[in-house]
Amino acid sequence: MDHKSTVRERVFSELRKVAYPDSRFHYDFGEFITDFQGSSAATDRLMAHRFYQQSQCLFITPDNCLEELRYRTLQDGN
């Protein structure tokens, strides 16, 4: 197994401990970015950051873990 595969497997192993399964992909992390325990707190930290607060336009990918961020950003008017 090459270094990239080893690192990916180690990351996916840790992610399985906190990830929420998706009915379409389950735990196939190569196909989607899962939502995870603590994602709301991560959204709070990001939205409190000065770069977020000073932004005029944002691009947020359609990953599961970013659903709350997309919603709250729209509520903010960004």
Q: Which among 50, 46, 55 has a CA at the least distance from the CA of 77?
A: 55
The model carries a pTM of 0.67
The band of 17, judged by pLDDT with boundaries at 50, 70 and 90, is confident
What is the predicted pLDDT for the residue at 30? 67
Domain edges within the chain: 1-33, 38-78
- How large a percentage of the chain has pLDDT more than 90? 37
pLDDT in tens, 43-76: 999 999 999 999 998 999 888 788 999 999 999 8
> Per-residue DSSP letters for the chain?
--HHHHHHHHHHHHHHTTBPPBTTTBT-TTT-PPPBTTHHHHHHHHHHSHHHHT-S-------GGGHHHHHHHHHHT-
Q: What is the mean pLDDT of residues 4-30?
A: 77
